[in-house]
Structure 1
Amino acid sequence: MTTTPTPSIFDGSQLAAIKRQSRSNDPAALKAAAQQFEALFLQMVLKSMREATPKDGLFDNDQTRLYESLLDQQMGQVLARRGGPDGKGGLGLAGLIESQLSRNAVDADLARFPEGLPLSAPASPRALDPVRSPVPLPTVTPPALPMSTAPAAPSGTEAAPGAAKPVTTSPVAAGFVDMIWADAVQASRTTGIPAQFIVAQAALETGWGRSEPRRADGRPSHNLFGIKAGRNWSGDVVEAVTTEYVDGVAQQKVERFRAYGSQAEAMRDYANLLISSPRYAGVLGVTDAAAFARGLQRAGYATDPAYADKLTRIIGGQTLASVVPT
């Protein structure tokens, strides 16, 4: 078995490597930074344990304390990388930090997208706790999506007539769309919702696949839509840190989410949720981006008061347009 060597605490090149990766938007930079945070936490734990130990021994001197300090720092690095029984890390703190940093990166990406259509004030947000129903999935043929459904560019930012606006394709977004597009098309046939709307919502919920909830052993949960595991859910469950809004105030919470065996299964469950719950009846067959997003918001799909605005911007943004199959 091949293992990745644990870096030495005397190797200053590790920080430089993380800086280089972050400048190139390499996802590995998030993982490396998260591991360093976990290593630092473990070092503090070890230091506290040693401080609680009596210091009356024969070898209690400055030299021994220096050695123990260096040893604790190196042990923190080792435990953060290979301390778990499955070889995937010690406390799992790095994974939670990586997930949170990925979500923040997605919010930063959204800020660069053009503004969507004006949105009316959303209804009071509610946490998603859907009721699973064994209703058979009908087949609905989605109507053709007119070109005019995409949000217009804000005033003053339109390109001159005949001028081609350069579009940079994101490798992360392209890989994510390629991975789930076929399943999104199937969900579209069931719900009448355009496939690009479904992909956009999955991108918003998972940060283009970068912050999907993971199982305890590191395997993906394939939960593409942030669907929580309510009392009626009998399948697998994962726990993850998420941001919930209570009375408009963001709070970090650990919530239980549904886990699936594949992305196709997640798509089917998403489609079943929409067609079997009366509160989502208003979004079925909707082909207007803003109306679809507002419908989800009013139905209480998410607690984020800006959820509809974010989703509308992704649907009408250049990132999605550059990677969706034509």
Structure 2
Amino acid sequence: MISNGSDLSGKLALDTKSLGDLKQSAKDGSPEALRGAATQFEAMFINMMMKSMREATPQEGMLDNQQTKTFTTMLDQQMSQNLAKRGIGLADMLVRQMTAQSVNAQALAIGGGQQEGATPAALDAAAKLNTTGGAKAPAAGAGHQAPHVRSFQEKLASHAEEAERATGVPAKFMLGQAALETGWGKRVIRNSDGSTSHNLFGIKAGPGWKGKVATAVTTEYVNGKPHQRVEKFRAYDSYADAFKDYARMLSTNPRYEKVLAHGGDAATFAHGLQRAGYATDPHYAVKLAKIIKHSLV
């Protein structure tokens, strides 16, 4: 097992044993293993480009023989590994895409074992089974929470409770939305210097925003189909500021009047947000309701 999936500098780019170790580590789904697999793929991609370059270059010198070709191949492999460690951007792109897919799949699976791509009707039907005598998911509680879920909730609970006093929206609902938007805090938008933007709710920086801004790639759905775009998002000095701005937006934007007036249960709140245009993901409300119901206490 590789102790640090992202540190591949001591291994050849096409080391079969290392690739096997990475495959085994990736099954755990850890960020380190994901980064290691993406970096290894980038190294292989660079090596393929170098191989194509070598093949396109005339080789008619006195030193061109099978032995020198073998050593050149080994040199290219190690150079590919070193270049991948520094990064050309491919690994970063793969990590973003695979992390987003993993988080969406986990959100859809909470409480019902559904697969990504299931229709809202199918997801709702599965949710009803959990409350009408069918196969039930464990009720949310401190004893049933995964460590990262419990840590996320404990870290942000006081900020969510303050926002609840300002809006009337249950703190649990807001924590669920922050979890969905950031993958339990693992995908908080970053500033250009790599620091966190503290943006827990995916709020974009429109023309009226006068604060700090962070730029990130986001997925928007148009006619039900996902499209990646580069958008500007609001950046805050703290998570407390993020909750305050979120509460202020819900309280002052006419689009969310009905959400506040008829918040009700988790499903009503989630579907109200989606109808108000908070997100373009057609499954957003179903994902959010399941996180609130089955993951948070």
Relative contact order, CA 8 A, sep 6+: which one is greater? 1
The 8 Å contact of residues 196 and 315 in structure 1, kept in 2 or not, is answered as yes
Q: What's the TM-score, normalizing by structure 1?
A: 0.72
Structure 1 CA distance for aligned equivalents of residues 249 and 140 of structure 2: 39
Amino acid at match of 1:80: A
1:313 is matched with which residue? 290
After superposition, the CA RMSD in angstroms is: 3.4
How many matched pairs?
Answer: 278
> Is 2:276 aligned against 1:299?
yes
Of residues 168, 175, 191 in structure 2, which corresponds to 1:199? 175
After superposition, where does 1:210-289 map in structure 2 within 5 Å?
210-284=186-260, 286-289=263-266
> Structure 1 residue 201: deviation in Å?
0.4
CA offset digits 1:133-166 (Å, max 9, x no partner): xxxxxxxxxxxxxxxxx9882434266xxx9999
> Structure 1 residue 205: deviation in Å?
0.8
2:42 is matched with which residue? 38
Of residues 93, 97, 121 in structure 2, which corresponds to 1:96? 93
Structure 2 CA distance for aligned equivalents of residues 207 and 164 of structure 1: 21
1:140 is matched with which residue? none
Amino acid at match of 1:8: K
More helix by share: 2
Amino acid at match of 1:213: I
Unaligned runs of 5+ in 2: 1-5, 113-119, 122-126
> Is 2:72 aligned against 1:68?
yes
Of residues 7, 11, 15 in structure 1, which corresponds to 2:10? 7
Give secondary structure in 1 for the equivalent of 2:215. strand
1:26 is matched with which residue? 30
Structure 2 CA distance for aligned equivalents of residues 230 and 61 of structure 1: 62
> Structure 1 residue 250: deviation in Å?
1.7
Structure 2 CA distance for aligned equivalents of residues 281 and 244 of structure 1: 24
The 8 Å contact of residues 215 and 232 in structure 2, kept in 1 or not, is answered as yes
After superposition, where does 1:141-156 map in structure 2 within 5 Å?
153-156=130-133
Task: Quickly say closer, same or farther: Cα 1:291–1:219, change in 2 above 3 A.
Answer: same
Amino acid at match of 1:103: A
Q: What's the TM-score, normalizing by structure 2?
A: 0.78
2:106 is matched with which residue? 109
Unaligned runs of 5+ in 1: 84-89, 121-149
> Structure 1 residue 195: deviation in Å?
0.6
Structure 2 CA distance for aligned equivalents of residues 52 and 236 of structure 1: 49
> Structure 1 residue 46: deviation in Å?
3.8
Taking only the aligned residue pairs, the percentage that are identical comes to 47
